[in-house]
Homo-oligomer: A and B are copies of this chain.
Amino acid sequence: MSVHRVYLPDLGHGDFEPGAVLEITGQEARHAVRVKRLMPGDVLEILNGQGLRAVAVLGESRKHPAGHGKTEWAVDVRIESVAQEPPISPRLHVLACAPKLTRVEDMVDQLSQVGAAAWFPLVTRHTLTPPKAERVDKLERVAAEAAKQCGRAWTMEIGSPVPLADALSRTHRAIRPSARLVIADPRGAPYSPDGSTDLALLIGPEAGFTDDEVDAACRAGAMLCSIGPHLMRVGTAAVVASGLILNAEQPR
């Protein structure tokens, strides 16, 4: 059994001195006590999504009045140790066209699990409409939930739409000037690592990049990279390509 994790994005490093006792309320408290049925003395892990990982021990739990005759759970946890982890290296920004309906949530969930630093909806000639603002809130919750499940110390960022031209000219903040550009394309070569610590992966829409778009990417220095024997849908292509890149660029 893996350790139970609590996600507290509003807390900073200063709130987590070893020995301190912290009161947790809201959904995270209720989930720990009522769903997971943790008991005093049980160990849990606290993440804030910004690199902090604290080990804590559960203390007393109680119900607070929460107005309108309702109550909410509160639990005390005693901090045992605190560490601040660096973000995953290499830093992989995935610029992928948003797939349809709930598939965009599945993609965000899987990119979080595999270890991408951020996802930005890519806008190309054949792109469907990027997710609306209210959808972004939901996607941020999906990324946070995946971070909890996988024990990611840094939550994956959900960015705003990036036109392909801005990505290729590296004028968009999603792409650092030194980043290696990789574009998934069946005409490409197998991925070969070059020690990059910053990468931007471009994944086209279901209908594909146009020939002009691929030409422009090549002129901008993008590596055309084949990622398998078949065509894949956007979400699968994004997670498979991310897995290839992150594993290939890991220090050995």
Report yes or no: A115 in contact with B228, Cβ–Cβ below 8 A.
yes
B residues less than 8 Å from A209 (CB atoms): none
Report yes or no: B191 in contact with A230, Cβ–Cβ below 8 A.
no
Mask, A14-43, CB within 8 Å of B = 1, is 000000000000000000000000000000
Report yes or no: A250 in contact with B190, Cβ–Cβ below 8 A.
yes
> What number of copies of this chain does the assembly contain?
2
Chain B residue, CB-CB nearest to A243: B240
**Number of chain A residues whose Cβ lies closer than 8 Å to a Cβ of chain B:** 36
Report yes or no: B230 in contact with A151, Cβ–Cβ below 8 A.
yes
Interface residues of A in 1-15 (CB under 8 A from B): 1-2
B residues less than 8 Å from A151 (CB atoms): 230-231
A229, B227: Cα distance in complex, Å: 20
Q: Is A83 an interface residue (CB 8 A)?
A: no
Stretch at the interface among A56-64, A106-114, A173-181: A106-114
A233, B149: Cα distance in complex, Å: 8
Chain B residue, CB-CB nearest to A147: B230
Evaluate whether A233 and B113 lie within 8 angstroms (CB atoms) in the complex, with A228-B247, A244-B247 already known. Answer: yes
Q: Is A252 an interface residue (CB 8 A)?
A: yes
Q: Is A236 an interface residue (CB 8 A)?
A: yes
Nearest Cβ on chain B to A43's Cβ, whole angstroms:
17
Q: Given A113-B230, A114-B236, A191-B247, list of 8 further CB < 8 A pairs?
A: A113-B236, A149-B233, A150-B230, A189-B252, A190-B252, A227-B247, A239-B243, A243-B244
Report yes or no: A114 in contact with B246, Cβ–Cβ below 8 A.
no
Nearest Cβ on chain B to A72's Cβ, whole angstroms:
29
Q: Is A232 an interface residue (CB 8 A)?
A: yes
Report yes or no: B190 in contact with A230, Cβ–Cβ below 8 A.
no
Q: List 13 A-B contacts (CB under 8 A).
A: A106-B106, A109-B236, A110-B239, A113-B228, A113-B233, A114-B228, A114-B236, A114-B240, A149-B233, A150-B231, A190-B247, A236-B239, A244-B247
Report yes or no: B247 in contact with A152, Cβ–Cβ below 8 A.
no
B residues less than 8 Å from A250 (CB atoms): 190, 229
Nearest Cβ on chain B to A154's Cβ, whole angstroms:
10
A106, B208: Cα distance in complex, Å: 22
